[in-house]
Every structure is written in C-alpha cells, then in structure tokens.
Amino acid sequence: MLRRTLIVSLAALVLAAPASAGTIIVKLHFAPGKLALRAAPATATPGSTIRVPVTIADGRGNGAGWRLAVRSRSLRVVSITASCAAGSTCTLPRAAAGPSGSTVLTAAKGTGMGIMNLVVTLRATTLTAVSFKVS
C-alpha cells in the first residue's frame, strides 16, 4: 500500500505543470563611486627631496581620467611611481601629460581606474607644506 501511494505521488509530481508561465523583470541600477585622494601631511625643506605616498581611488566607472596637482608652486616633481593597491584590480594611470607647473600627473582616458598607490618625489625651493588635489 505504501509503495502504491509513493508511486502515485511521484507520478503526480512528475506530470504536474505550472498553470502559467510568466516573465520576471529585474532592474539593476549602477551607482558610480567617487574620485578620492588621500595623502599624509608632509613638509618639504629648501633644496631637499621628499617622497610622499598618495592614494587615489577612482570609482566613477567612466574612464574619464583625472589630474593630480600639488598645491604649491615651490615644488618640482622629480619622479612618480604607481602600483595597484592590495585587493584592487586597478588600471594604472598612463600619462596624458607629464609634470608641468602644479600638475603632477594627468591620467589618460581609460586609465587610472580603481585604487592606486603613488609615490611622488618632490624637490622644494622653499620651506613649504605639501598637499595635493585631484580632479
């Protein structure tokens, strides 16, 4: 009797079909992140070079590139190194324009995305506080 009940129940489950099929619509919305900068405060003395670690996070997702500038005219860029931050699948910046005036680096379109660690080496002509901005 138990065997017959199990067979009938199994057959009913196998032969059962949904009453109607429908369409499921899922809408997703992409919320872009921000362009952010973090750099430790530093002071440069005349004639000396200083290495300043800078972290840039470009989470906008548009590949527009960006411009890193130093806020003092008495600083000259000596060198820049870049690497992806741990755990970031970044696209390293490719220079669209090199150092000039207050511009430290201009990342070309399609580069400089994700989280990057830069080390900017600067030479000072006067005693000055070092700070950066990104746009």
Say which CATH number the domain at 77 has.
Answer: 2.60.40
Is residue 1 situated within a structural domain?
Answer: no
Among residues 115, 46, 95, 118, the alpha carbon closest in space to that of 75 is found at: 46
- How many domains does the structure of the chain reveal? 1
Is residue 29 situated within a structural domain?
Answer: no
Kindly report, residue by residue over 9-49, the tens digit of the pLDDT.
666 666 665 556 678 887 776 677 899 999 989 999 999 99
Is residue 3 situated within a structural domain?
Answer: no
pTM across the whole model: 0.74
Element (H, E) at 83: strand 75-84
**Domain of 71, in residue numbers:** 35-134
Is residue 16 situated within a structural domain?
Answer: no
Among residues 51, 83, 80, the alpha carbon closest in space to that of 68 is found at: 80
Kindly report, residue by residue over 64-104, the tens digit of the pLDDT.
999 999 988 889 999 999 999 999 989 999 988 778 888 99
